Structure 1
Amino acid sequence: MTAVPPPETHQFKLGSCTVTAVRDGANVMDNPWEIFGSNQTPDTVRKLLEQNFLPTEKFVNSYTPAIIDTGSDVIVVDTGFGEAGRARGFGRFRKGLKAAGYTPEQVTVVALTHLHGDHIGGLLEEGAPAFPNARYVAGEIEYAFWTDKAREGTPAEGGQKAVLANIVPFAEKMTFLKDGDQIVSGMTAMLAPGHTPGHLVFHLESDGKQLVMTGDTANHYILSVGRPDWEVRFDADKMQAAKTRRRIFDMIAADRIPFLGFHMPFPAVGFVEKQPEGFRYIPKTYQLEI
């Protein structure tokens, strides 16, 4: 028999909150320049990867939802692929939740940065709500975009179908957020459009400690954080996405606070330092342990 290891989890304290990162899965993808730096030459992308001791022809894309335990709420931020991704090795968040000591019934809030499939696929389990006692929060602009019939017959139609299947059933239990709205005490939403029209980031503060959940604001720690102006294939509005990357990571760098990025190398938590062409990514080590 082949043993399947449990999902990778990483837990740390942020003030009086406990934050757990869970690796929903990861995959190796070819030709990084086809996704990152589409306004650059392939050789320019290869050169930057090589300078950073990374393979030039492939990259690893990781997917990291998170659990925030405030003591009064258990908040899931994004849900991963869910059961639809398990045949490909994804959809491991549910097991990771249990490995971290939580049951799906304990989750009180599900907060969605945006409505792409790798973030909303875990909302349902065998046709029933995966988190039966939770309330749900998502962006007002984001929901309006994906449920608009104007998406039909466009490249966004596939994404719309996923939203109709996974999000619309929860609409009555969903709070639609605007910029600055509070999710729970100490956790607020910030509009960060570009990747999708209503993409949000979440700012968490507890006992003077801060963390920003950046979702898909940047999707690679070198090719996107390091070069925020490089175009990304999956960004709906590439110019807006670049402006948002600059704005969000300027804030994170200036305040010297950690962030959790959904596609950053696991455990997906780090800091950034501003540099002339972008930002230097510094992975978290023991800063939040002492």
Structure 2
Amino acid sequence: MTAIFTRRSALAAAAALPLAATARPTLAASGSTEMARAPASHSRSFKLGSFTVTTLLDGSRPLEGAKAIFGGGATDEEFAATSKQNFIPADMAQFFFTPTLVDTGSEKILFDTGLGQGGIQIALAQVGLTPQDIDVVVLTHMHPDHIGGMTTDGAETFAKARYITGRQEFDFWRGQDEGNRVGDLMAQKVTPFAEKLTFLEDGDRVASGISAMASFGHTPGHMGYMLESDGQQLMLTADLANHYVWSFAHPDWEVKFDMDKEAATRSRRRILDMLASTGTPMIGYHMPFPAAGYVETRDSGFRFVPVSYQMMG
């Protein structure tokens, strides 16, 4: 990766993330006017060999100005045409925030903690769990919508868990000054856990059958994770691709939230090509709930194919 991450780029990325910090979970109990946009259930479980993989809807919200977020380098006409071909509006995106729980049979491992506004607790309750049942918390990267749920009302949410994240990611964000929103959130949510954190590099294992895969660019140390059980594979892609249409159909279009846009594009193409060529399913943090699907090649890009009844256990 040739580009250098600087304090300036970090602050720019922080400024580009208002929705992540302010999105409200659209939960059945909330009575929100956004309820019509939310699925009736906030959890969905899949079987992967002897693993049970459960996606947990922490929140969802619409956001206007889609092209400014997902269409860097595209003309208005190109962005509108791709949107129309996929039956979605060109001026609005629906965001989903979906941590993933992996039950290996010996440990319950949670990937990312959500927004910190109560959604993940409701989703866990739907599968009969509480935050106290989580053994391991893995942070794919340090953006607010992934670390926001580490504490609740100032107390540790997952009090019995140990924590894992990428060394490069942690070192970068720890080096940022407080006084910007991401730096402040890092200080509040992650720094107090420093003594409980275990760090890994590309290829290291979280547990048997769960390996880190570098996908740098969205953030300096952004990681995906490959799951493998009984010969079956599934990849947790985190924020490799932030929209199920635009980021797949045109992986070279720049995304506002990607800190190193060239590196993010390279990671997107490399990993989406691997998933398409091997037929490996994926779970993406911002994909439409239940966030799971397959990747196929289409023209010069890709297409996300949502899961239907595959992997049902």
> Is residue 205–residue 211 contact of structure 1 (8 Å, CA) maintained in 2?
yes
Partner of 2:309: 286
How far has the Cα of 1:284 moved from its partner?
A: 0.7
Alignment of 1:225-240 (within 5 A): 225-240=248-263
Alignment of 1:67-146 (within 5 A): 67-83=101-117, 91-146=118-173
How far has the Cα of 1:129 moved from its partner?
A: 1.1
**Residue from 88, 95, 99 that aligns with 1:54:** 88
Partner of 2:268: 245
Letter in 2 for 1:195: H
Alignment of 1:187-266 (within 5 A): 187-266=210-289
Partner of 2:21: none
> Is residue 214–residue 261 contact of structure 1 (8 Å, CA) maintained in 2?
yes
Q: 1-side partners of 2:208 and 2:264: how far apart? A: 28
- Unmatched tracts of structure 2, length 5 or more: 1-27, 32-39
Q: 1-side partners of 2:41 and 2:147: how far apart? A: 19
Aligned pairs, number:
278
> Is residue 67–residue 90 contact of structure 2 (8 Å, CA) maintained in 1?
no
How far has the Cα of 1:3 moved from its partner?
A: 5.0
2:70 equivalent to 1:36? yes
> Secondary structure, in 3 states, of the residue corresponding to 1:82?
coil
Q: 2-side partners of 1:20 and 1:289: how far apart? A: 11
Q: For 1:9-45, what per-residue CA distance to the aligned partner results, in whole angstroms no more than 9, with x for missing partners?
A: 1111111111111111111111210101111122221
2:293 equivalent to 1:270? yes
**Residue from 24, 46, 50 that aligns with 1:12:** 46
> Secondary structure, in 3 states, of the residue corresponding to 2:236?
strand
Partner of 1:148: 175
For residues 274 and 101 of structure 1, do their structure 2 counterparts lie closer, same or farther at Cα, with a shift above 3 Å needed?
A: same
2:205 equivalent to 1:182? yes
> Secondary structure, in 3 states, of the residue corresponding to 1:281?
strand
> Is residue 7–residue 24 contact of structure 1 (8 Å, CA) maintained in 2?
no
Q: 2-side partners of 1:124 and 1:3: how far apart? A: 22
Letter in 2 for 1:115: M
TM-score (norm 1): 0.92
Q: 2-side partners of 1:216 and 1:209: how far apart? A: 22
Q: 2-side partners of 1:4 and 1:125: how far apart? A: 18
Q: 2-side partners of 1:226 and 1:3: how far apart? A: 36
Partner of 1:170: 193
> Is residue 224–residue 236 contact of structure 2 (8 Å, CA) maintained in 1?
yes
Q: 1-side partners of 2:109 and 2:148: how far apart? A: 17
> Is residue 7–residue 92 contact of structure 1 (8 Å, CA) maintained in 2?
no
RMSD: 1.6
> Secondary structure, in 3 states, of the residue corresponding to 1:45?
helix
How far has the Cα of 1:190 moved from its partner?
A: 1.0
> Secondary structure, in 3 states, of the residue corresponding to 2:211?
strand
Letter in 2 for 1:22: L
> Secondary structure, in 3 states, of the residue corresponding to 1:131?
coil
- Unmatched tracts of structure 1, length 5 or more: 84-90
Letter in 2 for 1:147: R
Q: 2-side partners of 1:101 and 1:185: how far apart? A: 25
